[in-house]
Structure 1
Amino acid sequence: MELPQLVAKFVETQNTYDSGAYIECFTENAIVHDEGKTHTGKAEIRQWIEEANEKYKSVMKPLRYEESGSNGVLTAEVSGTFPGSPIVLKFHLGLKDGIIDSLNVTE
């Protein structure tokens, strides 16, 4: 599947558990919504992804990507050490200046 460069980097850094490179996909004041919690700014996002990686060891397999204006939706099969794995999730991306300004993870 052909993904835009930013989205490909987002997936790659998740799958290699590279939290330093992962947060470079986000703006300084980006907002992430996942599992009923909100994480704001690169420091909180880094803490969230490091904890999630440690807890779930999740890997994303992109299934579909759609982009309209400054919004994108990545649909991916996510597998890891969590109940119900694998699961198909949607990653709703708000894009700003070529990087992610918001991320909302939904089923």
Structure 2
Amino acid sequence: MSDINLPEAVGSFVAAANAHDAEALFGVFADGAVVRDDGSTLTGEAEIRGWIQSHMIGPRVVLSPTPFEDGRLVASSNADLPGGPWPFAFDFVTKDNRVSALTITQA
């Protein structure tokens, strides 16, 4: 990650995800944030915390970022699941160094 210059909120997201730190990961999201992943739109603390636990912390996701441009981070994602690593695109909208919207799709 040191070769890639990431905005603060995006760098914090990657660091917290890779540390498997659910509290720090939730802390990168702004009040009213929206997460779109796996065909679902998640809002509110309970839904986003549930997504963090089931999609990031539980499977022990590790993100290896590649390019970042115009709010989009492409990363190789590995986890304690068969078949990885998988390429994903993370489209971030940030404000005041926090994530206000995140959409995740396969890259």
TM-score by length of structure 2 reads: 0.86
Give how far 1:81 is off.
2.5
- More RCO (CA 8 Å, sep 6+): 2
Q: Note the residue ranges of structure 1 that are not aligned, 5 or more in a row.
A: none
Structure-2 residue corresponding to 1:93:
92
**CA-CA distance at 1:29 after TM superposition:** 0.7
Please show how residues 45-60 of structure 1 align to structure 2 within 5 Å: 45-52=48-55, 53-54=57-58, 56-60=59-63
State how 1:1-107 maps to structure 2 within 5 Å: 1=3, 2-52=5-55, 53-54=57-58, 56-67=59-70, 72-107=71-106
Q: Cα RMSD over matched residues?
A: 1.3
Runs of 5+ consecutive residues of structure 2 not aligned to the other structure? none
Report the alpha carbon displacement of residue 44 of structure 1 after superposing the two structures with TM.
Answer: 1.6
- Report the secondary structure of 1:33's partner residue: strand
Alignment deviations for residues 24-76 of structure 1 (CA, whole Å, 9 cap, x no partner): 1111110101111111023321121112221x221000101113xxxx10110
Q: Partners of 1:84 and 1:15 in 2: how far apart?
A: 19
Amino acid at match of 1:29: G
Structure 1 residue 83: Cα displacement: 4.1
Identity %: 35
